[in-house]
Amino acid sequence: MAQIRPYRAADADGLYDVCVKTADVGKDATGMLEDDALWGDLFAVPYGVRDPELCWVVESDDGRVIGYVVATDDTDAFAAWFRDEWWPSRVHRYRRSGAAEPTAQDKFLGYGDRMVPREDAIVREYPAHLHIDLLPETQGQGLGRRLIDTLLAELGRRGVPALHLSMNADNAPAGAFYERLGFALLASGDGSTTYGIRIPAP
């Protein structure tokens, strides 16, 4: 039986692996970028580095990381840290094509370049955000719900009022999952959908 446990620094390779294997609208994105590690450096591992107490993994019977939830309780503070500390330590590892038509990797590097605090009404009202990814072998066991419930409990303990997430608008199963958990649609457009949920005080 798979178990949920707190993230440990030794789990970073597992985060990289699960992140790339779920990055293509929930499917394996291996080979879509020139360097598969870029997915994890953008969407998973920095959260474990900055605030491991807001990260949990799903561990299989044989000790593999097969899912995770990672989060920050302050999106703007995370963006400032990402810009000032994390991205400068990682971006040099990745090649830019220099082509007139940007490659997929160029576009994701641009995403990292643009990660900065910004005046955003959703972030003000829903300051926390998360990323959650689960390999297909975890499905049907209620692990996604348990991961999010665990995260919301910790955010509530910290006094965080609300959380948001943004996802690929084409990922209809993920949207249905969030709605079943009580998330409300906040915005949609440009290929992205944003959901939010209020967090009750403990």
pLDDT for residue 190 is more than 90? no
3-143: CATH number: 3.40.630.30
Q: What is the tens place of the pLDDT at every residue in 46-102?
A: 999 999 999 999 999 999 999 999 999 999 999 999 999 999 999 999 999 999 999
Q: What is the pLDDT of residue 189?
A: 82
Domain ranges in the chain? 3-143
Reported as half-sphere exposure (CB side, CA atoms, 13 A), residue 54 has a value of 25
Q: What is the tens place of the pLDDT at every residue in 12-38?
A: 999 999 999 999 999 999 999 999 999
- Helix, strand, coil in percent for the chain, rounding step 5: 45, 20, 35
Q: What is the tens place of the pLDDT at every residue in 123-179?
A: 999 999 999 999 999 988 999 999 999 999 999 999 999 999 999 998 989 999 999
Closest CA to 63 of 14, 108, 20, 105: 14
Question: Alpha-carbon distance 136 to 140, whole Å?
Answer: 9
Q: What is the pLDDT of residue 8?
A: 98
Q: Label residues 148-175 b or e (16+ Cβ within 10 Å = b).
A: beebbebbeeeebeebbbbbeeebeebb
pTM: 0.95
DSSP assignment of 107-171:
HHHHHHHT------HHHHHS-EEEEEEE-GGGTTSSHHHHHHHHHHHHHHHTT--EEEEEEETT-
Q: What is the pLDDT of residue 72?
A: 98
